[in-house]
């Protein structure tokens, strides 16, 4: 990205030509600090999907935090689909990112109360050498209740949920990722 001084705006045709020629945003400085970004409509159209992704990630990260030790099923929507992140309360490190057709069932019934067959996070915790005190599913459940919280974003569209799950996993540098099939 090229940087030009604000005085270059005295010749807007030159700035326009630069934006079109470089096919990238141009940074405008005022007194040595970044002040504006200008770009061609073509570059803006290419950046729009990224802006939506940033907006959805910010929306997720600003959504209410639910601590597992306080969680009651009635706190979650009964039949809403969405994407969620489960993280450590003390450090904010993301342990797991998932998507589901039914948030309440997945987060409460499966992750917290569920058996080994449908509680992936518990299985990861039992297998993780960083947690030698977690030897079984009950200890994993206790860890989740004491140490973990989650946030979620309602998203009814299946394809978009899949994209958001991957995006949120990448942006949060999630610790546990399901094996590929």
Mean of pLDDT over the chain = 91
Residue 111 is classified by DSSP as: I
Of residues 115 and 181, more confidence is placed in 115
Query: What's residue 107's pLDDT?
Result: 93
Nearest to 61 by CA among 94, 37, 105: 94
Q: Look at the block and give the residue holding tokens 């141009």.
A: 26
Residue 154 is classified by DSSP as: E
Chain segment 51-98, per-residue pLDDT in tens: 888 899 999 999 999 999 999 999 998 889 999 999 999 999 999 999
The arithmetic mean of pLDDT across residues 95-121, rounded, is 90
| 125 CB-contact burial (10 Å; exposed 0-12 / middle 13-18 / buried 19+) | buried
Chain segment 154-168, per-residue pLDDT in tens: 999 999 999 999 999
> Do the Cβ atoms of 79 and 102 come closer than 8 Å?
yes
User: Which pair of structure tokens corresponds to residue 167?
Assistant: 């995006």
Q: Please list the residue range(s) of the chain that carry CATH number 3.40.1620.10.
A: 2-56
The arithmetic mean of pLDDT across residues 135-147, rounded, is 95
For the domain made up of 2-56, give the CATH fold.
YefM-like fold (3.40.1620)
- Predicted confidence band at 181 (pLDDT cuts at 50, 70, 90)? low
- Predicted confidence band at 180 (pLDDT cuts at 50, 70, 90)? low
> Do the Cβ atoms of 111 and 160 come closer than 8 Å?
no
- Predicted confidence band at 102 (pLDDT cuts at 50, 70, 90)? very high
| 107 CB-contact burial (10 Å; exposed 0-12 / middle 13-18 / buried 19+) | buried
> Do the Cβ atoms of 19 and 38 come closer than 8 Å?
yes
Q: Please list the residue range(s) of the chain that carry CATH number 3.40.1440.
A: 64-172
| CATH number 3.40.1440 given to 64-172 | yes
């Amino acid at each position: 990205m090229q940087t030009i001084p604000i005085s270059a705006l005295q010749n807007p045709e030159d700035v326009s030509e630069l934006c079109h020629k470089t096919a990238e945003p141009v940074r405008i400085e005022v007194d040595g600090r970044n002040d504006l970004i200008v770009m061609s409509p073509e570059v803006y159209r290419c950046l729009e999907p990224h802006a939506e992704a940033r907006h959805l990630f910010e929306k997720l990260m600003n959504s209410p935090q639910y601590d597992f030790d306080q969680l009651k099923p009635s706190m979650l929507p009964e039949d809403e689909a969405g994407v969620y992140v489960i993280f450590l309360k003390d450090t904010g490190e993301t342990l797991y990112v998932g998507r589901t057709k039914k948030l309440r069932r997945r987060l409460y019934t499966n992750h917290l109360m569920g058996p080994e067959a449908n509680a992936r996070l518990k299985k990861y915790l039992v297998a993780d050498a960083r947690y030698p005190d977690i030897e079984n599913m009950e200890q994993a459940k206790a860890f989740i209740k004491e140490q973990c919280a989650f946030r979620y974003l309602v998203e009814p569209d299946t394809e978009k949920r899949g994209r958001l799950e991957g995006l949120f996993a990448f942006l949060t540098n999630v610790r546990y990722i399901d094996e590929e099939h």
